[in-house]
């Protein structure tokens, strides 16, 4: 999460900004669930409430993490950089 935050300050590409935002948003949401939800501090449960047919049950943070991961792979495969040169 620290590396993701550092990259968020360095990014100058909108697609990479969206990717890092999705990953950080999902990670921070899961971390806060673990820290602040019942039964106690640091032992909280992540609330999963969306059933994806018979595959698994997840939440919005799971969707953000998955979408950010797919976008990360796609942007890397396309060769887009965090700080594109002027004119790219």
Q: Where are the domains of the chain?
A: 2-78
**What is the average per-residue pLDDT within 27-50?**
89
User: Which residue out of 45, 48, 57, 74 is catalytically annotated?
Assistant: 48
User: Which residue out of 20, 22, 61, 62 is catalytically annotated?
Assistant: 62
User: Is 86 or 26 the better-scoring residue by pLDDT?
Assistant: 26
Cβ contact 62:48 at 8 Å: yes
Cβ contact 72:23 at 8 Å: yes
User: What is the enclosing helix (H) or strand (E) of 51?
Assistant: strand 50-52
Catalytic: 48?
A: yes
Q: Kindly report the pTM of this predicted structure.
A: 0.82
Q: Say yes or no to pLDDT of 68 above 90.
A: yes
Catalytic: 33?
A: no
């Amino acid at each position: 999460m620290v590396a993701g935050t550092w990259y968020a300050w360095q990014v100058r590409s909108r697609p990479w900004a969206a990717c890092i935002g999705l990953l950080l948003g999902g990670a921070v949401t899961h971390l806060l669930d673990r820290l602040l939800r019942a039964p106690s501090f640091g032992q909280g449960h992540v609330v999963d409430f969306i059933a994806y047919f018979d595959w698994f049950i997840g939440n919005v943070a799971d969707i953000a993490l998955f979408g950010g991961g797919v976008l990360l792979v796609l942007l890397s495969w396309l060769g887009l950089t965090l700080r594109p040169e002027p004119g790219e």
